[in-house]
Amino acid sequence: MDRAAATVDLRADLSMRSNVVRLLCAMYLINGSLNLRRGWVDRTREVLAGAGLPVPSGKVLRWYRSNLASSAMMFAHCPLVDVPTLERIEARYLR
C-alpha cells in the first residue's frame, strides 16, 4: 500500500472515487492482482486521512475493489484514472 500511495498523486480537487480507484490501480500494478494483503483497507484509510482527503468506510473500499474486478471500465470516466490499467484489470478478471 505504501508503494502504491507513493506513486499516486492524491488530490483534494478530485473525487473520492477517483482517488480510491487510482490507488487500487496502483496496487494492482504493484501486486499484479486485486487480491490484496490483509490490512489493505485500514492502511488505505490511513493514507487517505493523512492526505486530508475524505475517508470511505471499509465496506466502500471493498465495493470499489470488487467492482474493479467485475467491471473495471465503469471507472474509465474518473479523472486521471489510467484507462490502459483498467483494460488490463478487465482482461485479467473477465476471461
Distance CA(80)–CA(40), nearest Å, equals 22
**Residue range 30-47: mean pLDDT, rounded:** 94
**Has residue 95 got a pLDDT over 80?**
no
Distance CA(87)–CA(83), nearest Å, equals 6
How many CB atoms within 10 Å of residue 48? 20
Q: Tell me the one-letter amino acid at 90.
A: E
Q: Work out the pLDDT band at 1, boundaries 50, 70, 90.
A: confident
Residue with cell 474518473: 78
Q: Angle CA(23)–CA(25)–CA(28) in degrees, nearest 5?
A: 110
Residue 30 C-alpha cell reads as: 504493484
For residue 94, the model assigns a pLDDT of 79
Answer with the residue of higher pLDDT: 61 or 94: 61
Instruction: Give this prediction's pTM.
Output: 0.93
* Separation of CA 25 from chain center: 5
